[in-house]
Structure 1
Amino acid sequence: MRPIFSFICLFVLLVSCKNQDKLTFEPFILHGDACADCPEVSVSYPKALENTKLASTINTALEEETISILNFDEDIAASTPEEAIKSFKNGYLELKRLYSDETIGWEAKIEGKVIYEDNALLTVELDSYIFTGGAHGYSSKQFLNFDKTKGKELENRQLFINQDEFERFAEIKFREQEKIPMDKPINHTGFMFEKDSFYLPENIGFTEKGIQLRYNPYEVASYADGPLELTLPYEEVKKFLARRGKS
């Protein structure tokens, strides 16, 4: 029995070591008021529990993004997600006051989740849907990337050793995926890149499969075309990365 017991102890130790660099999260959940004249609002994202600079950075970034999405009342300088939900409600009620016969219910849904984590990096995906009238709502996803060793949020340019070189590589892969000839303008098949020149999207994130580039609706194509995603395997892009993902 001793060899088996020793093996079990070793296994537990290895698992513990493997997970010791993983952050601990709990769900942060909010809902708007439930009433006949209230918009439907739900917010859910992971809240880091550690008392560290990194945890504070992650939580602050998610709060700020939530506030930015929901802040619809200029008279309220929302500083918390709760105040942002109130701002969204006030925006709806003001519109309903002005156009009582035309206003239909507003809706907001925000859902965040950790989609990638290693010893040095963590990426949170924030998925949102906002409907404030019109023919349809607007769905988008945002990537928030964090340097775990320095406890700070990373801008896109900080992900790469040389962003220009990565952009040239990404354009080749984008053209291959979307079947755009290399000798034709990038908008040859109907895209809407400004100045007919390829550029990286606002949202770039680490995933289990590789670096993902995501163009949200309207960014380079019509709403009907939906979002555009290009995932580049780590083996292909590791030479461009300032911080290495999975190899």
Structure 2
Amino acid sequence: MINKFPYFPFKITTLWALIFMFASCSKREEFVFEKQIFETATYLDCNPVDCAIIEIRLVQLLNDTKVGNQINRTLETKACEFLTIEENSTTTSIETAMISFNKLYTDIVEAFPEETPPYEALLDSEVQFQNAQLASVLLNTYSFTGGAHGNTTTMLLNFDLSTGRLISIDNLVKDTKAFSQYVEKKFRSTYTIPSQKGINSTGFSFDNDQFSLPEHIGFTNNEIILHYNHYEISSYADGPVVLKIDKAEAADYFDFNILE
């Protein structure tokens, strides 16, 4: 299978674990993330060539704690939202969402057997960074449900390890306006946009020609990742736009410790 994800390929192994440890007060607590695999051949009652191609590789915490369960529920919900095409769906089971996605495909194949190419839904995930306060998780998705091309999306999710809750950008950053102004200077420098000209003067498509932060901000060990998906500020042909900033340089803008 051709790898369609921008950051990392699918692994051959079906299970692998990432073990992180952090200090909490005077004791050490161990958090174990394991990648769980949901795929067509295992969860759907049909020959793979007759079904949609579905591979969900989702990191999950093995810890049966309030924090662990909260994080797992959020990750599972994101996977279900990716698989679910129907509006206003409340599906929270990945297996149920897979069955629904496949039924949509088989129903269309039955109606138009000669005109329907195989549908695909691929998701891979990785814990990019974790310290005592937060965990930053990357989700890469690719879907194809007909049309000229598939759709690739990156999600960067930051979890508060004291509660398990997803951290919004407004709660992640101390002063969103100040941080946005700082990032805009970095953005202009990286993409050679003169300060006296509009942010869209070189071909970007920010709303109202005003700079804005992306929907997804995450972290690696050394960098802050600001990821604009297709259509946020660029066309599909131009691809996603990614800005990377040294963490040590910008750590003071955040309400959480983003360093090791």
1:61 pairs with 2:74: yes
Q: What do the CA deviations read for 1:28-64 (whole angstroms, capped 9, x no partner)?
A: 1111234332110001111101122211111011100
Between the aligned partners of 1:24 and 1:242, the Cα distance in structure 2 is 25
In the alignment, what sits opposite 2:31?
A: 23
Matched, 1:86 2:99: yes
| Structure 1 counterpart of 2:225, one-letter code | Q
Q: Which residue is equivalent to 1:188?
A: 201
* Separation in 1, partners of 2:204, 2:77: 31
Decide whether the 8 Å contact of 1:73 with 1:90 is kept in 2: no
How far apart, CA to CA, are the structure 2 residues paired with 1:75 and 1:234? 38
Runs of 4+ in 1 over 6 A off after TM superposition: 15-19
Gaps of 5+ in 1: 1-14
- Matching of residue 200 in structure 1 with residue 208 in structure 2: no
Is the 1:123–1:144 contact (alpha carbons within 8 Å) kept by the matching residues of 2? Answer: yes
Deviation at 1:73, TM superposition (A): 4.6
In 1, the alpha carbon distance for the partners of 2:190 and 2:74 equals 32
Contact 1:48 1:58 in 2 (8 A): yes
TM-score, normalization by structure 1? 0.88
Match of 2:126 among 107, 113, 118: 113
Q: Give distance in 1, aligned partners of 2:49 and 2:251.
A: 53
Percent identical residues = 33
What residue identity is the alignment partner of 1:81?
Answer: I
1:37 maps to: 50
Relative to structure 1, is the Cα distance of residues 30 and 229 closer, same or farther in structure 2, using a 3 angstrom cutoff?
Answer: same
User: Equivalent residue of 2:205, what SS?
Assistant: coil
Q: 1:102 to 1:238 in 2, by over 3 A?
A: same
Q: 1:93 to 1:23 in 2, by over 3 A?
A: same
- Structure showing greater Rg: 1
Question: What is residue 102 of structure 1 aligned with on the other side?
Answer: 115
Structure 1 or 2: more helix by fraction: 1
Provide the alpha-carbon RMSD of the alignment. Answer: 2.1
Q: How much has 1:22 moved relative to structure 2? A: 4.5
The secondary structure found in structure 1 opposite 2:166 is strand
Aligned partners of 1:85, 1:201: CA distance in 2, in Å? 29
For these two proteins, the number of residue pairs brought into alignment is 233
Deviation at 1:72, TM superposition (A): 2.4
Q: Cα offset for 1:99? A: 3.1
Amino acid aligned to 2:51: C
- Consecutive unaligned residues of structure 2, counting only runs of 5 or more, are 1-19
